[in-house]
């Protein structure tokens, strides 16, 4: 069996760590790249990776997996990263593929040394046929001829009785067990918009979004329009995490995306994993704000329902007669892309591929805190200084919540002055594609936050809204507001709004808001 096949299990372990977004600590550094994350410039698809500490008698290496496009006559990188101990990689300062025989134009090389996989080459070595062996004709012997005849008859019979069943058993075990765990090494083609036969008669209609873990389709199921998130094989763990979150007790909540079910489509390396949920035509809050402005009542409705959904996610709910116990859950990738806008302009929270469940009396079970989208990472995440406790992870979500509130405020029509084009948080400070170092410099060292215009503070309600977002993104994690506090504040602001002849005034330095009827 070729060396390419033998490295697959090890490559799978490395790929799994990269897929989950783990920042693995160690002494060896490799260049990291994952082509499936780079669709539409998704953040976190390339950079520098620290390998896990190896055992005393083993080494860490770097690898490159690429394919050759014969039509375009060019090589395309599929994966780069850390690689577990293999003697094939020992003492190789350069990443060179020497085999001339590669199936489907896939090539693999590994090397020894920090960042040795920045460059790679293919240098096929010709294989020389072995020298012919000069055969010596034996002298015929009658006894040996009888024995040879018996062996000639007995061995095939024994193979039919024992060997074939054994081979069939091994084949089925390998097909059903091993290959279901090996990820595809090429990005899987997206399914065509045609009916699919399976547990449900679902027709995929059009792609609505692409994320780091898969594509989201608008789909038809009988008379209902639904959403189907399609995960390729290498992101199976995220699919499993999402359904684990959705299946928790008390998760059927109006401010959490409604879960319908999951399905596995296809077999072996071509398997896809479907997450089936409710469909919301308005899309994500990020996409909605790019194309629309929001009124004061709409902003309050979105912010209140979003905070209520986050509060429900963070909340620990005891078991009752109808439902079991719900543990606290941290989202860990909270951002406007993962907040969906419903038809009534309320919000619901989606995308739990990185979420973490906190079972009482058990450790977090997660040793890699630097996950999520860089732009929304809290200072302690960027520094790698997280306390691995439940409250620490919930406060990280609240930092990101403050940034999303800023996005909302930036597109609200109540502000005194012109409304600018939609911008992501920190877009002016670090641009559209910041590196981890860019975010560390801006958020940790300079302690920068998205700019709040003075015109926002001229409206008393928006003034209080700005205070709330600033308390969410406080540099001191313990000083940040909880989701329940944000929800209560926004609800108070929303109730205080009188649509006709009232004016909101701020009565003191707290968030208390009252109304004063005009004399008209």
Rounded CA-CA distance 301/323 in Å is: 28
Dihedral sign for Cα 172, 177, 181, 182, please: negative
Which 3 state secondary structure label does DSSP give 10? Answer: helix
Q: Across the chain, which distance is largest between two alpha carbons, in Å?
A: 127
Closest listed residue to residue 511, CA positions, set 489, 478, 488, 480: 489
Buried b (16+ CB within 10 A) or exposed e, 384-408: eebeeebebbbbbbbbbbbbbbbbb
Could you tell me the two tokens for 238?
Answer: 């995220």
Please identify which of the residues 235, 333, 467, 474 carries the catalytic annotation. Answer: 333
Rounded CA-CA distance 242/249 in Å is: 14
Is-contact 476 392, C-beta < 8 A?
A: no
| 344 catalytic per annotation | no
Could you tell me the two tokens for 31?
Answer: 């260049």
Which 3 state secondary structure label does DSSP give 231? Answer: strand
Closest listed residue to residue 391, CA positions, set 380, 406, 402: 380
Which residues have CB under 8 Å from 70's CB, separation 6+?
105
Q: Write the DSSP assignment of 248-305 as a string of letters.
A: STT---TTBPPEEEEEEES-GGG-EEEEEEE--TT-BHHHHHHH--B-HHHHHHHHHH
- Residue count of the chain, please give it: 520
Catalytic positions: 333
């Amino acid at each position: 069996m070729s060396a390419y096949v033998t490295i697959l299990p090890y490559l799978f372990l490395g790929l799994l760590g990269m897929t989950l977004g783990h920042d693995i600590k160690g002494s060896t550094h490799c260049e990291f790249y994952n082509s499936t994350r780079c669709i539409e410039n998704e953040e976190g698809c390339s950079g520098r990776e620290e390998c896990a500490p190896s055992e005393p008698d083993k080494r860490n290496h770097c690898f490159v997996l690429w394919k050759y496009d014969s039509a375009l006559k060019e090589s395309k990188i599929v994966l780069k990263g850390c690689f577990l101990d293999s003697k094939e990689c020992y003492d190789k300062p350069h990443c060179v593929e020497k085999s001339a025989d590669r199936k489907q134009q896939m090539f693999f090389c590994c090397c020894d040394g920090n960042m040795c996989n920045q460059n790679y080459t293919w240098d096929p070595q010709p294989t020389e046929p072995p020298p012919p062996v000069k055969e010596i004709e034996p002298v015929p012997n009658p006894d040996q001829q009888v024995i040879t005849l018996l062996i000639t008859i007995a061995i095939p019979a024994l193979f039919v009785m024992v060997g074939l069943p054994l081979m069939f058993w091994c084949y089925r075990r390998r097909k059903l067990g091993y290959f279901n765990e090996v990820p595809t090494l090429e990005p899987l083609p997206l399914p065509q918009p045609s009916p699919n036969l399976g547990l449900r008669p679902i027709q995929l209609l059009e792609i609505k979004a692409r994320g780091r873990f898969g594509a989201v389709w608008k789909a038809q199921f009988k008379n209902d329009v639904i959403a189907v998130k399609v995960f390729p094989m290498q992101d199976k763990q995220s699919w499993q995490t999402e359904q684990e979150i959705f299946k928790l007790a008390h998760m059927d909540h109006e401010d959490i995306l409604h879960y319908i079910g999951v399905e596995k489509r296809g077999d072996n390396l071509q398997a896809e994993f479907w997450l089936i949920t409710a469909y919301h035509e308005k899309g994500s809050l990020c996409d909605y704000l790019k194309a629309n402005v929001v009124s004061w009542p709409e902003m309050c409705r979105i912010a209140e329902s979003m905070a209520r959904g986050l509060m429900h996610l963070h909340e620990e709910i005891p078991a009752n007669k109808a439902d079991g116990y719900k543990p606290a859950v941290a989202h860990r990738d909270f951002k406007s892309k993962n907040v969906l806008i419903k038809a009534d302009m309320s919000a619901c929270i989606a995308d739990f591929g990185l979420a973490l469940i906190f079972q009482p009396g058990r450790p977090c079970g997660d040793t890699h805190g630097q996950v999520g989208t860089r732009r929304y990472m809290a200072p302690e995440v960027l520094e790698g200084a997280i306390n691995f406790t439940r409250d620490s992870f919930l406060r990280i979500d609240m930092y990101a919540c403050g940034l999303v509130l800023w996005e909302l405020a930036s597109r609200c029509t109540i502000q005194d002055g012109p409304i600018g084009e939609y911008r992501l948080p920190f877009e002016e400070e670090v641009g559209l594609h910041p590196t981890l170092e860019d975010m560390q410099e801006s958020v940790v060292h300079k302690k920068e936050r998205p700019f709040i215009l003075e015109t926002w503070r001229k409206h008393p309600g928006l003034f209080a809204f700005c205070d709330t977002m600033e308390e969410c993104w406080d540099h001191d994690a313990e000083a940040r507001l909880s989701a329940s506090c944000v929800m209560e504040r926004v609800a108070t602001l929303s109730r205080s709004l009188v649509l006709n002849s009232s004016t909101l005034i701020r009565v003191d330095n707290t968030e208390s808001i009252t109304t004063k009827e005009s004399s008209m």
